[in-house]
Structure 1
Amino acid sequence: MKVKIFKIRVSEEFLESDQELINNFLAQSEVLHTNSKLIEEEINYWSVLISYEEKKLKNISSKAIPISEDELSEEETIIYNKLKDWRSEKAKETQLPAYIIFHNAHLVSIARYKPNNLEDLEQINGLGKSKTEKYGAEIIEVLENA
């Protein structure tokens, strides 16, 4: 059994990034026990202690190792370009830089391994529950229409 402590700041400025950090950790761990306490300071935060075991890797995890764009097949390159187009539209829509939505390495992995559902998508290196919940359905739709 291992333990890890997280600090989840309650301030809107930090809350989403802190939650994404813990969600990514939780996606890779089997939680045995948690304990949390609200700490009231200048910036209030939750101190979260997690007892955990590392998850056994699923088969798709070995597929999820990022590769270069140059290593994609012709079909995968078409999918990759469609994913980039989707990301550009989403970046304009949300007024965020494209790399905040997904890095190129994520798109390359998605194009290569073509996950069929949200659970498979979550197994791609760097994509946790937060990104999957936020964009997963749209990504699956892009893959289905590619």
Structure 2
Amino acid sequence: MKVKVFKVRISEEFQKSDESVISRFITGREIIKINTQLIKEEINYWSVLIFYNEKTVKTTHDDQDKSKSNLNTIEQPSEEELVIYNKLKEWRSEKARELQLPPYMVFHNSHLMSIARYKPFNLADLEQITGLGELKIRRFGVEILEVLENA
């Protein structure tokens, strides 16, 4: 497991560019955990600590019984997967605004794509997606399943 630290300055001038640096970093990596701390200085910022592994190859069906499915692959998504992915991104944006968090703190793009590809039917199915921990599933799982039902 590796660790990377980012700073997201809380000002209109810097916030979007700082967030896009993190989004680019997250793509291509399996995120294990994200810790944040609000730092109050002359320019307030979020200190973001990301624990990650380099992205691995998608598991085969035989391997899925042995461990969580790693569906974070670089394969081209189907049209159906893109529709679901975009609905999940809309939900994430709304949830991030509601919680006053950057969108990647709710879920990052690779998790949303994994959900769109796997199309879980229940909370137990969500648990099979690499990187979705118990807390995120407990906090957002029901809403994710509702988005999938309506996509």
Query: TM-score band (shorter)?
Result: 0.5 to 0.7
Structure 1 residue ranges (4+ consecutive) displaced by more than 4 angstroms after TM superposition: none
Q: Which residue in 1 is equivalent to 2:68?
A: 61
> For residues 136 and 60 of structure 1, what CA distance do their matches in structure 2 show?
20
In 2, distance between residues paired with 1:58 and 1:128?
Answer: 18
Output the amino acid matched with 1:58.
Answer: D
Ranges in structure 2 where 5+ consecutive residues have no aligned partner? 1-36, 38-50, 52-62
Residue number in structure 1 paired with 2:129: 124
TM-score (ref. length: structure 1): 0.57
Q: 1:60–1:111: structure 2 CA closer, same or farther, 3 Å change rule?
A: farther
For residues 3-62 of structure 1, the C-alpha deviation after alignment (integer angstroms, 9 at most, x for no partner) is: xxxxxxxxxx7xxxxxxx9xxxxxxxxxxxxxxxxxxxxxxxxxxxxxxxxxx9537834
CA contact (8 A) 1:60 1:120 kept: no
Give unmatched runs, 5+ long, in structure 1: 1-12, 14-20, 22-55
Give matches, 1:3-18, under 5 Å. Answer: none
Q: Which residue of 2 aligns with 1:75?
A: 80
* Whole-Å separation in 1 of the counterparts to 2:85 and 2:67: 19
Residue 90 of structure 1: CA displacement? Answer: 0.1
Partners of 2:66 and 2:146 in 1: CA distance: 23
| Alignment-mate amino acid for residue 145 of structure 1 | N
Q: Is the 8 A contact 1:61 1:123 kept in 2?
A: yes
Higher relative contact order (CA 8 A, sep 6+): 1
Counterpart Cα distance in 1 of 2:67 and 2:121 = 11
Instruction: State TM-score, norm by structure 2.
Output: 0.55
Percent of aligned pairs sharing the same letter: 59
**When you count helix as a share of all residues, which structure comes out higher?**
1
Give the distance between the partners of 2:66 and 2:147, measured in 1 at CA.
23
Distance 1:60 1:144 in 2: 26
Amino acid corresponding to residue 68 of structure 2 in structure 1: S
Could you tell me how far apart the structure 1 residues matched to 2:142 and 2:122 are? 8
8 Å CA contact 1:79, 1:111 repeated in 2: yes
Corresponding residue for residue 133 of structure 1: 138
The whole-number CA distance in structure 1 between the counterparts of 2:110 and 2:65 is: 20
Amino acid at match of 1:61: K
Q: How many pairs align?
A: 91
Which whole-Å deviations, capped at 9, do the CAs of 1:47-105 have from their partners, x for residues lacking one? xxxxxxxxx9537834x33023x611000000000000000000000001100100100
Shift of 1:139: 0.1
Which structure has the greater CA radius of gyration?
A: 1
CA contact (8 A) 2:71 2:117 kept: no
